[in-house]
Every structure is written in structure tokens, then in C-alpha cells.
Amino acid sequence: MPADVVEQLIDLLGDAVIADGPAMQAVREDRSGWRSPHPPLAIVHAGSVEDVQAVMRVASASGTPVVPRGAGTGLAGGAISSLGSIVLDLSRMDRILEISDVDELAVVEAGVLNGDLDRAARERGLWYAPDPASRAISSIGGNIATNAGGLLCAKYGVTRESVLGLVAVLADGTLLRTGHRTVKGVTGYDLTALLTGSEGTLAVIVEATVRLRPIVRGDTHTVAAAFPDVESAGVAVGGVAAARVRPALLELIDPIGLARVAEYLGPSALEGTPLDDLAPGETFLLAQCDAGDAADEAEFLARVFESAGGRVTRSTDAATGERLLDIRRAMHPALASRGNVLIEDVAVPRSRLPEMFRAIAEIGARHDVEIPTLAHAGDGNLHPNFVFEGDKVPERIWAAADELFRAGVRLGGTLTGEHGVGLLKRRWLAEELGDTSVELQRRLKQVFDPQGILNPGVMFAPVRSDADAGLAR
């Protein structure tokens, strides 16, 4: 049967089908550090909607699992090959089909990279707001499948808020169109939102109509500060919220993360920044303000940061702003230079951020693991990181991660703010959602995918054990 499926695919799609070679190994991974124990049956590089439909018809006729995959930059194992699966790679469907100035929208194929769309939009005086840190390398289809977040979400919204409509291929190959070219539209259920964040388990997203925004006018003002400890940085974050100021971004790096960043960048990169004379235990906070009142807002933030004990640097020129933002951007490379990185993704209500930081410190101490943490402090989304050697996540890191997820949920938060559930977080899904919701969601999946061939094992699909489902690296 499997050989027959591959033959059918080759008959239909020729060279677009790959069934051996290094690519078969590459799709066992994404950027999460996870590696599937199974290469796929085959990879299909779809070049058109019709290709995707052809694959789904073969898959549904034969009951073959399909893993939709974009740029392969996921952080939760949501698009890696599973046992006997077809990896349906959409990265060649990378055409920007339309940019409408007046309607402020773009129509794109799923494989278009987020950064490429944003660049094309900016040539027309528009931009694409959802800005996952991976935007240079991640695809719009993957962004939509995970409802990706980013740095600017507190002000400009998550991916869902920019998706107006979708074209998706259903499990049996049928084409589904959802949504509108208008900001408003309430005809029927919001299938656009239901597919957004569904991680390839309901349908294969092949095309999207997304909202663009006018480029924000005026200079971006950047305020950065080093605080003596996480607590005082937390006071500053609270002060920003209490003053009803909403910077475009507000990023926090905890002392352990900051030490790693400083080592990685070296002294010359930090000259003239608040990290120039970094003391142990210091915390970094970075804000950027845009739009008409950016100057006033930045001035105000600088005062709030100072009165909370921060050593402040302000910048109104783009170059210095970028240099300060580079400190934030260095976080992941700094950690990745020291070993494999497991990036977590809890989000808690902003008011609970101080408690969450305390919980992270306690959990790290109890399990004797370092947990360098980055936070999108404006929206309460934290990325605690674990760095480890070798191919396998050590047990004590798993134990710490487990406590960390539970702490986030206990504080009224969620186990994934923006990366998705994938394979990595499904063990905690029911704990957050409750049985009623999980059961309902399983039944919604059955409506879309009665045979269970779309990305089986991902999110809350039946789990036997992690080892069976390909979780162990």
C-alpha cells in the first residue's frame, strides 16, 4: 500500500515527489529541537492548489496521513514527518498574487515568507503587522496555521487579526473558501478564525487574503534600560501599564539571559548601551514607541524606567534603535551557541508577570537548571529557555518544563502564547482546556477530517505514548 501511494503521487506529480535522499531526513525536524523517529513516506513539493488537491485525494483514498509543512521553522514539532506520512511541502507556492492599495490587503500563496510580503507591502506604503521573530524565514501559511505572534502583538494584534480570508483544501481534496476582502463580514461561522491556529489538523491552507496597514509615520523612539533585578524591571512594566501607555514593543530579558547575551555579543557591541557596565543580576527592558505621540511616550517611559531604578538609554535615530534591538535579537543566537535550545512559550496575564518570574526562578533552582528567559512584557508572553547538550532533552529539564507550564496555567495563563501545541505541548492540553473543550474540539476535527489523516498526532489527536508518536529525540 505505501509503495502504491508513492507511485500514485509520482504518476500525478512527477518530479515534485521526493522519496529518498537528505530531504527525507530534513523534514524530520523543525526549529524546536525535536526530531521525528520516522522519515516520511514521501515529500511532495506542491506548486499549485491543484497539486495540493491531488495529494489530498490520493491520501484520503488510501487513508495516508498528511503533514502540511511550510518553511519548517516551527517551534513545537507541528510540521515534522510522522510514521507513514506524506509531507506536503508548500514552500514553492510562494507567489504574492495581489496587493491592493485601496483595500489595504494582499492575496498570497501559503509559502510566501512573512518578510517577503512585508517588504513588498512597504514598497506600496503599507506593511504586514504580524511579526514573529522568525519573519525572515517563516511562511505566511505556517504563521496562520499556528496563529503566530511576535513582538508587536499587544499594539497591532496577532496573526488572526490580520487574516481576512483563506483558501484551504479539505481532507478529501475539496476546495474551501472562507472569509472576505472586507474588514467586516459576519455571514456564517468564522471558519477563517477556526482554521487560523489549527496547525494543519483541519485543512491545508493554500492561499490567504491578509490585511495590510498604512506604514506608521514618524520616527520610532527606543528606550532601553538595565535594572538592578527582575523585580524592579517588573515595577517598570507595571508602571507602563498603569499609565495607559502602550508602546509598540516592550521586551524584557532576565539576568541569566542577559549575561549570556553580553558574553555572546562582547563588550564592543554593548558600548554606549545600558549594558556597557553590566552588573550581575541586572535585567534588560526595551521599549519602542511609534506613531504620532512616540516622542512624548518615549520621554514618559524613560521617566518610568528611571524611577523604577533603571539605567536608561534613549534613541531617536533609527541606527541606535536598531543597535538596541539587536541586543534583544541576540538572545536566541547567544543560547544556541551554547547547545541545543528548548524554547518554551507560556503567556500569563500581565498582572501575573512578577509571580511567573518568581516561579521560573524557583523551578530553576529546584531542578538545578538554568532558565534564561525572554518576555514580550507588553502582552505577558514569556519564553523560558533550556539549553542542553547532546541529542536528548534531559529528564530534569522535562520535569522543570512540566512545572513551568503548570505554573503558567495556574496563574490564569496558557501553555502556548504563539508557537502552537504541536507535539511538544499536547500532554498539557487537557489540563488547560478541560475535558468539555477537548472533547468538543476532537469532534470538530472529525467534521473536517473524518479519517484522521490531517497531521495526526499533532495538538490533541489520539496519543498512545510519546515514544510511539515520535516524540523522543
Binding part of the chain for a second copy, among 95-103, 301-309, 363-371, 386-394 by CB under 8 A, reads 95-103
| Relative orientation angle of helices 294-307 and 230-242, to the nearest 10 degrees | 140
**Closest distance to a second copy from the beta carbon of 183 (Å):** 4
Tell whether residue 188 is a contact of a second copy (CB under 8 A). Answer: yes
Q: Which residue, 237 or 469, is less far from a second copy as judged by CB?
A: 237
**Closest distance to a second copy from the beta carbon of 8 (Å):** 24
Q: Which residue, 436 or 465, is less far from a second copy as judged by CB?
A: 436
Residue with cell 512578577: 354
Tell whether residue 180 is a contact of a second copy (CB under 8 A). Answer: yes
| Relative orientation angle of helices 395-410 and 353-367, to the nearest 10 degrees | 160
Residues 6+ apart with CB under 8 A from 284: 224, 225, 226, 227, 233, 251, 252, 253, 258, 261, 274, 275, 327, 328
Report which secondary-structure segment, H or E, holds 106. Answer: strand 105-109
Tell whether residue 303 is a contact of a second copy (CB under 8 A). Answer: no
User: 290 φ, ψ to 5°?
Assistant: -130, -175
Tell whether residue 421 is a contact of a second copy (CB under 8 A). Answer: yes
Three-state DSSP at 202 gives coil
Q: Which of residues 337-356 bind a second copy (CB under 8 A)?
A: 347-351
| Length of the chain, in residues | 473
Short-list 386, 388, 427, 385, CA closest to 409: 427
Three-state DSSP at 392 gives coil
Q: Give the residue, chosen from 272, 444, 466, 468, that forms a contact with a second copy under the rule CB under 8 A.
A: 444
Extended strands (E) in 246-350: 249-253, 283-289, 311-315, 340-343
Binding part of the chain for a second copy, among 57-65, 187-195, 302-310, 395-403 by CB under 8 A, reads 187-195
Q: Which of residues 263-292 bind a second copy (CB under 8 A)?
A: 291-292
Q: Give the residue, chosen from 81, 114, 138, 196, that forms a contact with a second copy under the rule CB under 8 A.
A: 196
Tell whether residue 190 is a contact of a second copy (CB under 8 A). Answer: yes
**Closest distance to a second copy from the beta carbon of 389 (Å):** 30
Per-residue contact string for residues 211-240; x = within reach of a second copy by CB under 8 A: --xxx-xx-------------------x--
Three-state DSSP at 252 gives strand
Q: Which residue, 68 or 274, is less far from a second copy as judged by CB?
A: 68
Could you tell me the three cell numbers for 61? 483514498
**Pairing state between β 163-169 and 221-227:** unpaired
Q: Give the residue, chosen from 30, 109, 116, 418, that forms a contact with a second copy under the rule CB under 8 A.
A: 418
- 3-state DSSP: the chain helix, strand, coil percent, rounded to 5? 35, 20, 40
Per-residue contact string for residues 111-150; x = within reach of a second copy by CB under 8 A: --------------xx-------------------xx-x-
**How many DSSP H helices and E strands does the chain contain?**
17, 18
**Closest distance to a second copy from the beta carbon of 391 (Å):** 28
Q: Which of residues 8-27 bind a second copy (CB under 8 A)?
A: none
**Closest distance to a second copy from the beta carbon of 6 (Å):** 29
**Closest distance to a second copy from the beta carbon of 413 (Å):** 6
Residue with cell 492561499: 207
Tell whether residue 153 is a contact of a second copy (CB under 8 A). Answer: yes
**Closest distance to a second copy from the beta carbon of 302 (Å):** 17
Q: Which of residues 375-404 bind a second copy (CB under 8 A)?
A: 376, 379-381
Binding part of the chain for a second copy, among 41-49, 263-271, 391-399, 435-443 by CB under 8 A, reads 435-443
Q: What is the CA radius of gyration of the chain?
A: 22
Q: Which residue, 273 or 381, is less far from a second copy as judged by CB?
A: 381
For residue 417, what is the DSSP state? S
